[in-house]
Amino acid sequence: MHRMKLDFNYAMEAFVKGGLDDSALENYREKARMGLSRLLKQVDEDKAGFANLPSQDTSAMKKYAKELSGKFNDLILIGIGGSSLGIETLCNALLPFGYNARNFAQRGASPRVWVADNVDPSKISSILHECEPADTFICVITKSGSTVETAANFNVIYEWLDDGVKDPKKHICTITDEKNGSLRKITDKEEFRSFVVPANVGGIFSVLSTVGLLPAAILGIDIDKLLEGAATVAKDQYEKVITLSSIYMYFMDQGKNINVLMPYSSRLSSFADWYCQLWGESLGKRTDVNGKEILFGSTPVKAVGAIDQHSQVQLFKEGPEDKVVTFIEVLKHEKDKKIMAEYDDYGYLEGHSLGELCNIELLATEAALKNTGKPSVKISIDSLDEFTLGHLFMLWQYVVPVIGLANDIDPFDQPGVEEGKNYAYGLLDKEGYSDMKSKFEEIFVKRDDFII
């Protein structure tokens, strides 16, 4: 049974001027195969652990989720970036809208869920305002154990918990590296219950590790089905990985340096956020693996259909020829609603459904872009569930490093975020960062006449 299809008609010269012809497609497929073989070598060498996650043992996570079941009204997840975007995506796609407004029974005895990612005081205060310490369980998620936002939010939330319950330990679990980092030290000292993020799984690629799966299991999401869907990418012989990465590489080489992901489903809105991190952090690199400056990358853009038809599509259609759009189509929307036209003016809607309208709008946008020579590809899934979401995650987790490795960059590091982090540590007077404070003071120079 094919639960996902890739349609690349409108990336092809046969339909869109400047698109791929058969020989370009074959050449770029060759390049993508080379990227894939480099990636699979890293997998074999145990360096790219994300690829082996579908075969991990999930029993300890499921057992723990069962132990917690029914005991807590709220789950606060503390983490940011790779440690929050994946679980946000899982919640957005697989829990109903308004989930937190449902009562305990309607939620199947699973807790409400709050993601404490940003150090935005109003967000954190509002989350704590909603929760009762005695009824709250907290997962602190940080692979490095040192991320400043996570450390700060954990401190604030721990104090709140400690003030409200006798034994805060019973309300906390950590998800972090097995050996390294401050949170591992704290976890061992305090004897917090803890789960390990595998050392060979990078933060951006961690959604299908304990980072995404443990909270998902606590929320009643079928984590085995997610992994089953993820496993199909390899089972399908990476056919879609090769084709999709070929198409993206071709258009990047043509100077189309904006890559738009546009699911036609609000349930995939957070998936597009997750993709932006994966694409941006993995592919935006100043140098290649030999240290040569190449300023590689293309800019990921999130759009959600049909909402962005009333916003960004004007630009996609009539603006610069610098984009390739990837649509995601959900063929059968859950809980679809028939439209009964209550007024004659809306008679044309009679008998259609909201899901059908959403998909018709996708076709219409696809046609309109094609008609102005703007390339697009379309991924169709038969419905959105754990299996297809797992497949989507894994597909992009392959496509992105294949592009990176085929272009001689390292898709698994993020040196570009270090400098800013280190200035912040310097400004916070963290031990060992005084030189960064001095460097900041030296370079952060502004002129008053440029401030009005």
Which residue in 163, 140, 165 sits closest to 151, CA to CA? 140
Least distance (Å) from ligand PA5 to the CB of residue 309? 31
Give CA–CA dist 252/409, Å, rounded. 15
How many residues in total does the chain contain?
A: 452
Give CA–CA dist 285/298, Å, rounded. 10
Q: Single out the residue of 11, 172, 204, 241 in contact with ligand PA5 (rule: CB under 6 A).
A: 204
Taking CB under 6 A as the binding criterion, the range among 97-105, 198-206, 223-231, 283-291 that sits at the site for ligand PA5 is 198-206
> DSSP character for 110?
P
- Catalytic residue set: 281, 310, 421
> DSSP character for 259?
E
Give whichever of 321 and 418 is closer to ligand PA5, judged by the CB atom. Answer: 418
Residue 81 binds to ligand PA5 (criterion: CB under 6 A): yes
Residue 144 binds to ligand PA5 (criterion: CB under 6 A): yes
Least distance (Å) from ligand PA5 to the CB of residue 197? 7
299 close to 260: Cβ distance less than 8 angstroms: no
- Helices of type H across 298-411: 313-318, 354-371, 386-406
Show Cβ contacts of residue 303 under 8 Å, excluding neighbours closer than 6 positions: 260, 261, 262, 272, 311, 312, 313, 316, 325
Taking CB under 6 A as the binding criterion, the range among 78-86, 90-98, 241-249, 331-339 that sits at the site for ligand PA5 is 78-86
Q: Single out the residue of 89, 92, 136, 150 in contact with ligand PA5 (rule: CB under 6 A).
A: 150
**How many residues line the site for ligand PA5 (CB under 6 A)?**
14
Locate 339 and state its tokens: 């439209």
Give whichever of 205 and 398 is closer to ligand PA5, judged by the CB atom. Answer: 205
List the x/- string, 401-440, binding to ligand PA5 by CB under 6 A: -------------x--------------------------
Neighbours of 1 (CB within 10 A): 3
Q: What are phi and psi of 195, to 5 degrees?
A: -125, 150
Angle at 207 between CA 306 and CA 145, to 5 degrees: 125
Residue 80 binds to ligand PA5 (criterion: CB under 6 A): yes
Least distance (Å) from ligand PA5 to the CB of residue 51? 17
Amino acid at site 250: Y
Taking CB under 6 A as the binding criterion, the range among 39-47, 196-204, 376-384, 397-405 that sits at the site for ligand PA5 is 196-204
Burial of 240 (0-12, 13-18, 19+ CB in 10 A): buried
For residues 232-271, which are near ligand PA5 according to CB under 6 A? none
List the x/- string, 29-68, binding to ligand PA5 by CB under 6 A: ----------------------------------------
Neighbours of 109 (CB within 10 A): 13
Residue 203 binds to ligand PA5 (criterion: CB under 6 A): yes
Least distance (Å) from ligand PA5 to the CB of residue 98? 28
Amino acid at site 4: M
Residue 143 binds to ligand PA5 (criterion: CB under 6 A): yes
Least distance (Å) from ligand PA5 to the CB of residue 142? 3
Q: Single out the residue of 19, 49, 54, 82 in contact with ligand PA5 (rule: CB under 6 A).
A: 82
* Residue tagged 């009005």 (tokens): 452
Element (H, E) at 380: strand 376-381
Residues that bind ligand PA5 (CB under 6 A): 80-83, 142-144, 147, 150, 202-204, 281, 414
